[in-house]
A and B are shown apart, each in its own frame.
Chain A
Amino acid sequence: MLRIPCPFCGERDHAEFSYGGDARVQRPALDDRSEERWYRYVFLRDNPRGPHREFWQHVGGCRAWLVVERDTGNHEILDVRFAADAMKEAQCE
């Protein structure tokens, strides 16, 4: 029963979105040959209570991938950004 404010389309019901998993895990670079790092990226997840950063795609709208900060305790949406922007910012940090 969430509503997610898509930066492009505005606030929409969560039925228009599909969940894409944990956005905090760091994807290794394509040419990174470390099996350990790929293993951690693909398989290891925390299950935090409280604010959580996760990917959602607006499949029934603009189709952008978003990074949504959501409180897993009460489903409050704290922040929504285009994933492309969030990733570029993360690279700059």
Chain B
Amino acid sequence: MSEQRARLARGGRIDRSRICTFTFDGRTYTGCAGDTVASALLANGVHLVGRSFKLHRPRGIVGAGVDEPNALLTLRGGGRTEPNIQATMAELYDGLSAVSQNRWPSLALDALSINGLFSRFMPAGFYYKTFMGPTRGAWMWFEPAIRRAAGLGKAARERDPDRYEREHAFCDVLVVGAGPAGIAAALAAGRAGSRVLLLEQMATAGGALLDERTDSHAERWRSEHLAELEALDNVTLMTRTTVFGVYDGGVTGALERVHDHEPEPPRGQPRQRLWTVRAARTVFAAGSTERPLLFGDNDCPGVMLASAARRYLNHFGVLPGRRVVVHANNDSAYAAAGELRRAGAEVTVVDRREQPAPDVGAALRADSIELISGARVERAHGRHRVRAVTVADARGTRRLDCDLVCVAGGWSPNVHLASHLGHRPVYDARVGAFVPDTLPEGQFAVGTMTGELDDAGAVAVGWRAGLAAAGQTDDERAPAPPATAAASGWVHAHGNGEAPRGGPGKTFVDLQNDVTDRDVALAFREGYRSVEHLKRYTTLGMGTDQGRTSNINGLELMAGLRGQSIPETGTTTFRPPFTPVALGALVGRRTGRHFRPERRTPMHDCHRERGAEFVRAGQWLRPRYYPEHGADVDTAYVAEMRAVREAVGMVDVSTLGKIDVQGPDAPEFLNRVYANGWLKLAVGKARYGAMLRDDGLVFDDGTTSRLAEHRYFMTTTTAEAGPVMSWLEFLLDTAWPDLRVHVTSVSDQWAGVAVAGSSGGHVLAAALDGVDTSDDTLPPMGVRDATTDDGLPVRILRVSFSGERAYEVYTPAGYGAHLWERLMAAGQPHGIEPYGTEALGGLRIEKGHPAGPELDGRTTLDDLGLGRMARPNKPFVGDVLRHRPALESEDRRRLVGLQPVEPGARLRAGALVFPDGAPVEGHGIGHVTSVTWSPTLGHYVALALVAGGPAREGEIVAAASPVHGEHVRVQVVPGVFLDPEGERIHA
């Protein structure tokens, strides 16, 4: 275990009394409560933390927050393994384990980085050309090697044991970012009485104020104003909550890392929470990101943003280097220089400007800091940690030994969120950066993200926006709070406008994606000159950090090459997410069984008690078969079919869609929505009907019964119950508002059981005491409502899906289980057996009834052999377009039956149909839609849609399933295998 040798004895906001032990690449270190993994590693003098994405170059810690491009680690283990976590955002806890990524065999010795092997192998544009160009096919060859060599961390293969939640929040004013401007805005709106939600992505509120010393005026300002916010009941501050997306209607998405800072969430608590925030007004106070300066080998570990160095020094109490070169093109780095010096480091400032501000020089002299002005760092030296830099000025070059280079290239406003709704950022030449354009009503941008770099200004602007968001004008309330006096008196500044350029060695523009200045130049030479092309060609800015430290430098390089200004070269808009969001958080609790609602029929428990195997049918759970009937599904469903054909069976049909249709115009309505005629259906009769869509293809089918003069009971297929209901409502609301008809879904109100088999009538008579089920009162297609002796209300339809004498018995859902048990008991002497969806399907296939696999949204009535149902002399939905020539073509795929030439052969649904002896190539002449073993015939039978259809009857064709290696010769036969005259329904 190594001591924290770079930790200062005093200062910072960490808790030195709470030591956390953690491992990095298997080695044990200690840190303090309040550290991030990055600050703890730096406290232990560890700068080398990873290998780069493409070139496998050693990389260190560059930033101190969400801007970090390099220090991506894999945290935790097992199912909790999380790759690509920024060390700068990962809070330390006792027992944390982190490993570096993209290195083999170890971080210090990486085989793939030797001689820069990969840089020649994968130049800029590699992916672009491989995917887009004529060498597309080469990807097959490159892929395995590239997948191993390039990339980030690996996701876990185990299930994530943690729980994620989704929640909604509502407020008057949402403030994004708790820096000086955000705190001022929240305070203004909060004092004015608005419901305020202030979201801060870091663990501690304060934003850039956390870069300041804990004994500074800025820190006092921070704690006093946060305390006042805390005291306001109408203000909620949430830390560790990152706004990742801004959406229409005042909606904002935010990710709260509820327990990421602990080994695992407490019992019952979520790991992360995804918030959907709906705010009347939103104030963006997202701050700004420091820009690196470019020079040769600027990716060497130990090259760090000056603001990050201040954060490590003043917030974490870590001195990240002892011999420091501060390389700047503006004044904002001088605070870092002075503070590092006073903390004990030797400091040299290399300023690219000839003449830094006069008071700067005096302050540096007072601190014994050497200033080299009008000079630039040309190149960094060192392998796993910077050892020296080459500095060049008008007089020549010299070498400065160092172990830390702080770079300060000016500031880039964090415009991302303000551009999510499509508002392109605009270039502000005054501050040399992109700033948010005029925002839509109800949105405000404040603070340094607007290019306002004076802290007093940021607070004042934040305050005014807070008041405006709360619906108040400036002068209605007390004056703004005083400025924070942050940055120790130094005003932040942007760069001096000098165009960036690279140095000797490799100069990295985008550290995360390994994009160099030469890659940008190559893109320019090859004609990829617009910003969007540059991004795609080089992958500049397309990493998980969204190019926060690289976009503007890449753009300036391209502008220089094109000899144009930055606005002429263009910018890019940003899309959500601002920072990566774990899939687990997006999914929330909607996983596993909670992925979608599960619907159970009223008889569910009856089936479960019998040990039924269930199958999902849409949202429904339906019995697939009852294992009591056989050792496996194949033997069980055949036994169930046999019971129906030879005696009697019953099946739960509660899942069918059921619609109550009422009104004087109901007959006319049905006559319009069904292809067949309905005007002559008598009260007490049911009829099979088929519905078309407007385009003439078959939509759904089912039976509809006339219960009374103006009242019908429609059933639909299980799958289309919802769509049919919406469709009928659509027609009544929009097409025929004059029809006096009302439709009501009663699917959930009725439980249904179908009793099928020659003894079905006896079972019904025995079960439903007092209900007359004789053929006289209930002939085929007869319907009646009745009540049993003991008051059980039932509706009986004598309709058959199986081809047997059959009854559908409906009862209010609450009586469903009772009805099931009653029928089961009454059927006992007749050998009744329950059957599931497999047997249900098998029975209808034997009878050639089309169902879901045939009603696939591509078939016409004629395709299904139902063309004669359509009434020629009445208009109905879909009648015009069903006559389109292509839908009437003779060679369309039409419904036929298939049976194997070899009686023992097995058929398979989904198999393709080919002419006999033809090679199995392409899509064939048709496909097998439904298959069952026929216990009556003793072989498999199938329904299929085959080109030419019934015209092929008698022909031998082949049913091939290349994925199963199956090829079966079959004969085309009529689609009705059993009882084509339909005599069994009278049995």
Query: Which of B421, B672, B881 is close to A42, meaning CB atoms less than 8 Å apart?
Result: B881
Closest to B421 in A: A74
* Chain B residues, Cβ within 8 Å of A82: 733
Closest chain A CB from B523 CB (angstroms): 32
Closest chain B CB from A45 CB (angstroms): 13
Query: Which of B729, B734, B875 is close to A27, meaning CB atoms less than 8 Å apart?
Result: B734
Q: List A residues 24-52 near B (Cβ within 8 Å).
A: 27-28, 30-35, 38-39, 41-43
Query: Which of A1, A65, A83 is close to B249, meaning CB atoms less than 8 Å apart?
Result: A1
* Chain A residues, Cβ within 8 Å of B248: 1-2, 74-75
Q: Mark B98-122, 1 if CB is under 8 A from A, else 0.
A: 0000000000000000000000000
Are B249 and A2 interface neighbours, CB within 8 A?
yes
Closest chain A CB from B985 CB (angstroms): 34
Are A20 and B729 interface neighbours, CB within 8 A?
no
Given A30-B875, A35-B881, do A3 and B249 touch, yes or no (CB 8 Å)?
A: yes
Query: Which of A43, A59, A88 is close to B726, meaning CB atoms less than 8 Å apart?
Result: A59
Are A33 and B726 interface neighbours, CB within 8 A?
no
Give the most central of B672, B732, B736, B880: most A CB within 10 Å: B880
Q: B613 near A: Cβ within 8 Å?
A: no
Give the most central of B247, B737, B876, B884: most A CB within 10 Å: B737
Are A63 and B729 interface neighbours, CB within 8 A?
yes
Query: Which of A3, A20, A41 is close to B730, meaning CB atoms less than 8 Å apart?
Result: A20
Closest to B168 in A: A13
Are B247 and A65 interface neighbours, CB within 8 A?
no
* Chain A residues, Cβ within 8 Å of B730: 20, 55, 57, 65
- Roughly how many angstroms separate A41 CA and B878 CA in the complex, as a whole number? 12
- Roughly how many angstroms separate A28 CA and B732 CA in the complex, as a whole number? 15
Q: A64 near B: Cβ within 8 Å?
A: yes
Q: A84 near B: Cβ within 8 Å?
A: yes
- Interface residue count on the B side (C-beta < 8 Å): 25
- Roughly how many angstroms separate A30 CA and B440 CA in the complex, as a whole number? 46
* Chain A residues, Cβ within 8 Å of B729: 57, 63, 65
Closest to B730 in A: A65
Are B247 and A1 interface neighbours, CB within 8 A?
yes
Q: List B residues 670-702 near A (Cβ within 8 Å).
A: 672, 694-695
Q: B986 near A: Cβ within 8 Å?
A: no
* Chain A residues, Cβ within 8 Å of B877: 30
Closest chain A CB from B661 CB (angstroms): 15
Closest chain B CB from A35 CB (angstroms): 6
Q: List B residues 710-763 near A (Cβ within 8 Å).
A: 726, 729-730, 732-737
Closest chain A CB from B662 CB (angstroms): 15
Are A84 and B737 interface neighbours, CB within 8 A?
yes
Q: Mark A71-93, 1 if CB is under 8 A from B, else 0.
A: 00011000000111001100000
- Roughly how many angstroms separate A59 CA and B968 CA in the complex, as a whole number? 47
* Chain A residues, Cβ within 8 Å of B726: 18, 57, 59
- Interface residue count on the A side (C-beta < 8 Å): 32
- Roughly how many angstroms separate A5 CA and B908 CA in the complex, as a whole number? 51
Q: B783 near A: Cβ within 8 Å?
A: no
Q: B251 near A: Cβ within 8 Å?
A: yes
* Chain A residues, Cβ within 8 Å of B695: 42-43
Closest chain B CB from A33 CB (angstroms): 6
- Roughly how many angstroms separate A43 CA and B697 CA in the complex, as a whole number? 14
Closest chain A CB from B657 CB (angstroms): 14
Closest chain B CB from A50 CB (angstroms): 14
- Roughly how many angstroms separate A44 CA and B884 CA in the complex, as a whole number? 16
Are B875 and A31 interface neighbours, CB within 8 A?
yes
- Roughly how many angstroms separate A57 CA and B731 CA in the complex, as a whole number? 12
Are B735 and A27 interface neighbours, CB within 8 A?
yes
Given A38-B694, A42-B694, A65-B733, do A32 and B249 touch, yes or no (CB 8 Å)?
A: no
* Chain A residues, Cβ within 8 Å of B883: 35
Given A3-B249, A42-B694, do A83 and B881 touch, yes or no (CB 8 Å)?
A: no
Closest to A64 in B: B733
- Roughly how many angstroms separate A33 CA and B249 CA in the complex, as a whole number? 44
Are B733 and A83 interface neighbours, CB within 8 A?
yes
* Chain B residues, Cβ within 8 Å of A23: 734
Closest chain A CB from B259 CB (angstroms): 28
Are A38 and B734 interface neighbours, CB within 8 A?
no
* Chain B residues, Cβ within 8 Å of A38: 694, 880-881
Q: List B residues 285-331 near A (Cβ within 8 Å).
A: none
Query: Which of A3, A35, A63, A87 is close to B880, meaning CB atoms less than 8 Å apart?
Result: A35
- Roughly how many angstroms separate A87 CA and B732 CA in the complex, as a whole number? 11
Query: Which of B251, B732, B735, B880 is close to A34, meaning CB atoms less than 8 Å apart?
Result: B880
Q: Mark B403-424, 1 if CB is under 8 A from A, else 0.
A: 0000000000000000001000
Closest to B732 in A: A84
Are B734 and A65 interface neighbours, CB within 8 A?
yes
Closest chain A CB from B504 CB (angstroms): 50
Q: List A residues 1-28 near B (Cβ within 8 Å).
A: 1-3, 18, 20, 23, 27-28
* Chain A residues, Cβ within 8 Å of B880: 28, 32-35, 38
- Roughly how many angstroms separate A33 CA and B733 CA in the complex, as a whole number? 22
- Roughly how many angstroms separate A39 CA and B734 CA in the complex, as a whole number? 18
Give the most central of A30, A41, A42, A87: most B CB within 10 Å: A30
Closest to A23 in B: B734
- Roughly how many angstroms separate A88 CA and B738 CA in the complex, as a whole number? 9
Closest chain A CB from B248 CB (angstroms): 4
* Chain B residues, Cβ within 8 Å of A28: 880
Given A1-B248, A3-B249, A34-B880, do A83 and B694 touch, yes or no (CB 8 Å)?
A: no
Are B694 and A87 interface neighbours, CB within 8 A?
no
* Chain A residues, Cβ within 8 Å of B694: 38, 41-42
Query: Which of A3, A20, A42, A88 is close to B737, meaning CB atoms less than 8 Å apart?
Result: A88
Given contacts A42-B881, A63-B729, list 19 more A-B pairs with CB under 8 A: A27-B735, A30-B735, A30-B736, A30-B877, A31-B875, A33-B880, A38-B694, A38-B881, A41-B694, A43-B695, A55-B730, A57-B726, A65-B730, A65-B733, A74-B421, A82-B733, A84-B732, A84-B733, A84-B734
List the 3 closest A-B pairs by CB distance, nearest first.
A65-B733, A1-B251, A1-B247
Q: Could you pull out 16 A-B pairs where Cβ atoms are within 8 angstroms?
A: A30-B877, A31-B875, A32-B880, A34-B880, A35-B884, A38-B694, A38-B880, A39-B881, A41-B694, A42-B694, A42-B695, A43-B695, A57-B726, A57-B730, A65-B729, A74-B440
